[in-house]
Amino acid sequence: MTKTLTTPIRNEDLEQLNAGDIVFLDGYLITCRDVGHRRLIELGMALPVDLKGLAILHAGPIVKPDGEGWQMISIGPTTSMRMESFEKEFIKQTGVKLIVGKGGMGPETVAGCRAHKAVHAVFPGGCAVLAATQVEAIERVEWLDLGMPEALWVCRVKQFGPLIISIDTKGNNLFEQNKAIFNERKGPIVRDISRQVRFIK
Amino acid sequence: MDKLQAVRSMTVTMARFTDYISKHLPDDVLARLRQLREAEAAPLAKVVYDAMFENLAKAGELDRPSCQDTGVVQYFIKAGADFPLLSEVREILAEAVVTATRTAPLRHNAVQIFQEKNTGDNTGERIPWIDWEIVPHDPGLTIEVYLAGGGCSLPGQGRTLMPAAGYEGVVQFVFDVMTSYGVNACPPLLVGVGIGGSIEVAASLSKKALFRPLGSSHPDPRAAEMERLMEKGLNELGLGPQGLRGQHSVLGVHLESAARHPSTISVAISVGCWAHRRGTIRINPDMSYEILSHKGATL
């Protein structure tokens, strides 16, 4: 059975989720990436969107002017790890509940998700047209002075996903678990190849 | 065709080709992705491959860039020394980028250094990036268009090793990058490795390795064997699609080399994401063209 999260997301909705689960999102998803995070956390600028109970997407979309508004052309996740140094404080200050991006995040985000009941999930990277077709409307845009990729695009989405939970509210981090496995496998493989490439003799 | 018409013709061709590449993967990459998808049994890996192929179908159907990050546009040119428009190529390609940015549409990705402003049309200081190789006695131009997103540009790095580290040090370096930065760069990745005597040589070669067709090998048998060993070894790490674990980690490993200084061995790595948006086009002196990377493509 596929689970759907609907904004505003409540703590109870997230508490039963585990790293590795797949969910879909209905409701509000706001793009917010490098400079959006920097402006709030480092520069102390107030975010022009109230994110309490909502979801953010680490993404810089391609949008097209459409009459008075905008049409979503392509929108996919960007590398979440770039936001790692800001995310714990970002979760605390905004009350955001779902952070969607690509690849894993680190221990600070894990701590933030645990303390304030939030989750990080990945949307498959590079699948930007699939995602765009799940955006019902762009309701508004803020901080457009940052340019198309960095602006905050306020999107209403329907069955947005698949979203794979990578950090849950209990401190589990799917990518850190995977990286531990990759690193454990690496040593013997590198030693084996190294024996066969001793070309400097 | 006079010169002005020739310039117009090539500008239209390159604008349309750049637009096309943002929406369609090359034949060799598609074929490899199909093979890798077949091999997966793990539920998460299958979900991701399903999303990837559904996305590619939708990108074609809706005529949209398959990934929102259409990169800073780069052109790698093998320029025939006798090509009639060599002096005009830079302005032709800049104009093509501006047009494709509007038509595709491509994301605005050129941020001026120091001003820190996005130019909004994908041109900027030295951008689109153009790399030249001169081919003597050739009247045509072969251009690789490459749209690499930021995600798969992040792992790019290099190091100059002491010879004591040997080719073993090269292997260790590649594997360390792949298990750290590689995981988040949209695997399965195409891995380009450059080896030479200084860092910029290795870096440039690592990038050019990404334009070799999948399935090709380095001409030196030792290098070809090292490619094979690294491909097999990286797959054994089992990064899977998006780093969510699976049977494979890479589309392939391509190694390019230049003779080194006795005192140094420089290595660099560049990776292409699964959505490896590379296109090869050959422009003839009469401005007719042939698309080499996408069979049956029409512009």
Nearest to A193 among B69, B109, B230 (CB): B230
Quote the domain boundaries for residue A135. Answer: 3-173
For residue B43, give the chain A residue with the closest CA. Answer: A20
- Minimal Cα–Cα distance from A52 to chain B, Å? 27
Whether residue B183 and residue A125 make contact (CB cut-off 8 A), yes or no, is no
Token pair recorded at residue B197: 């005597």
Please indicate, yes or no, if residue A109 is contained in any of the structural domains.
Answer: yes
Query: pTM to 2 decimals?
Result: 0.94
Cβ distance B141 to B83 under 8 Å? yes
Counted across chains A and B, CB pairs separated by less than 8 A come out at 189
Cβ distance B276 to B25 under 8 Å? yes
Please indicate, yes or no, if residue A185 is contained in any of the structural domains.
Answer: no
Q: Output the pLDDT for position A1.
A: 53
Q: Which of A95, A66, A148, A199 is nearest to B260 (CA)?
A: A199
SS3 B182: helix
Whether residue A189 and residue B236 make contact (CB cut-off 8 A), yes or no, is yes
Token pair recorded at residue B262: 């006795």
For residue B49, give the chain A residue with the closest CA. Answer: A124
Q: For chain B, which domains are there?
A: 3-23+66-149+277-291 (3.30.1330), 153-272 (no CATH)
- Tokens 């920097």 belong to A38
Nearest to B274 among A22, A126, A130 (CB): A126
Please indicate, yes or no, if residue A183 is contained in any of the structural domains.
Answer: no
Whether residue A102 and residue B151 make contact (CB cut-off 8 A), yes or no, is yes
Interface probe, candidates A1, A62, A82, A175, chain B, greatest B C-beta count within 10 A:
A62
Cβ neighbors of A188 (< 8 A, separation 6 or more) are: none
Q: Output the pLDDT for position B265.
A: 98
Please indicate, yes or no, if residue A191 is contained in any of the structural domains.
Answer: no
Rg (CA), chain A: 19
Sheet holding B141-147, edge to edge: B129-135, B74-80, B141-147, B277-283, B289-291
- Minimal Cα–Cα distance from A170 to chain B, Å? 19
For residue B148, give the chain A residue with the closest CA. Answer: A126
Please indicate, yes or no, if residue A180 is contained in any of the structural domains.
Answer: no
Contacts of B176 in chain A (CB under 8 A): 186
Q: Output the pLDDT for position B1.
A: 85
Nearest to B51 among A130, A192, A197 (CB): A130
Rounded-to-integer distance, Cα A108 and Cα A96, Å: 15
- Minimal Cα–Cα distance from B240 to chain A, Å? 10
- Answer whether A81 touches B (CB < 8 Å): yes
Token pair recorded at residue B79: 């320029």
Q: Output the pLDDT for position B10.
A: 98
Please indicate, yes or no, if residue A189 is contained in any of the structural domains.
Answer: no
Rounded-to-integer distance, Cα B211 and Cα B281, Å: 12
Whether residue A179 and residue B179 make contact (CB cut-off 8 A), yes or no, is yes
Cβ distance B194 to B202 under 8 Å? yes
| pLDDT tens digits in sequence order for chain B, 299 residues long | 899 999 999 999 999 999 999 999 999 999 999 999 999 999 999 999 999 999 999 999 999 999 999 999 999 999 999 999 999 999 999 999 999 999 999 999 999 999 999 999 999 999 999 999 999 999 999 999 999 999 999 999 999 999 999 999 999 999 999 999 999 999 999 999 999 999 999 999 999 999 999 999 999 999 999 999 999 999 999 999 999 999 999 999 999 999 999 999 999 999 999 999 999 999 999 999 999 999 999 99
Neighbouring C-beta atoms of residue B89, cutoff 10 Å? 21
Contacts of B179 in chain A (CB under 8 A): 179, 182-183, 186
Q: Output the pLDDT for position B283.
A: 98
Please indicate, yes or no, if residue A73 is contained in any of the structural domains.
Answer: yes
Which CATH number do you get for residue A31? 3.20.130.10
Rounded-to-integer distance, Cα B153 and Cα B74, Å: 13
Q: Output the pLDDT for position A2.
A: 76
Cβ distance B18 to B97 under 8 Å? yes
Rounded-to-integer distance, Cα A186 and Cα B142, Å: 39
Token pair recorded at residue B63: 């005529």
- Answer whether A143 touches B (CB < 8 Å): no
For residue B23, give the chain A residue with the closest CA. Answer: A129
Residues of chain A with pLDDT under 50: none
CA A63 to chain CA centroid, Å, is 19
Residues of A acting as catalytic residues: 37
Domains in chain A, number: 1
SS3 B188: coil
Whether residue B118 and residue A146 make contact (CB cut-off 8 A), yes or no, is yes
Please indicate, yes or no, if residue A190 is contained in any of the structural domains.
Answer: no
- Answer whether A180 touches B (CB < 8 Å): no
Axis-axis angle for helices B3-21, B89-103 (nearest 10): 50
The tens digit of pLDDT for each residue in A118-155 reads 999 999 999 999 999 999 999 999 999 999 999 999 99
